[in-house]
Amino acid sequence: MRRDTFLKSLAALAAAGSLPLSARAAVAVKMMLPANPGGGWDTTGRALGKALQDAGVASSVTFDNKGGAAGAIGLAQFVNSSKGDPNALMVMGAVMLGGIITGKPPVNLSQATPIARLTSEYNVFVLPANSPFKSMAEVVAQLKKDPGSVKWGGGSRGSTEHIAAAMIARAVGADPAKINYVAFRGGGEATAAILGGNVTVGGSGYSEFAEYIAAGKMKPIGVTSGQRLKGVNVPTLKEQGIDVEIGNWRGVYGAPGITPEQRKALIAMVDKAVKSRAWQEALEKNGWTPAWLAGDEFASFVDNEFASLRATMVKSGMV
CA distances from 82 to 66, 88, 143, 258 (A): 14, 7, 45, 10
pLDDT at residue 287, rounded to an integer: 80
Adjacent-strand bridge partners of 128: 218
Q: Considering all CA atoms of the chain, what is the largest pairwise distance in Å, rounded to the nearest integer?
A: 81
Q: Mean pLDDT throughout 309-319?
A: 85
Condensed to tens digits (0 to 9), the pLDDT of residues 88-108 reads 999 999 989 998 998 889 999
Provide the CA 205 distance to its chain's centre, in angstroms. Answer: 9
So what's the pLDDT on residue 24? 47
pLDDT tens-digit profile of 147-197? 999 999 998 888 899 999 999 999 999 999 899 999 987 678 889 999 999
Spatial CB neighbours of 192, under 8 Å, sequence gap ≥ 6 = none
Residue 104: its pLDDT value, please?
87
Band of pLDDT at residue 10, cut at 50, 70 and 90? very low
Of 116, 112, 186, which is closest to residue 156 (Cα–Cα)? 186
pLDDT computed for residue 18 by the predictor: 46
231, HSE (Cβ side, Cα atoms, 13 Å) = 9
With both helix axes pointing from N to C terminus, report the angle between 94-103 and 72-81 in degrees, rounded to the nearest 10. Answer: 100
Amino acid at 173: G
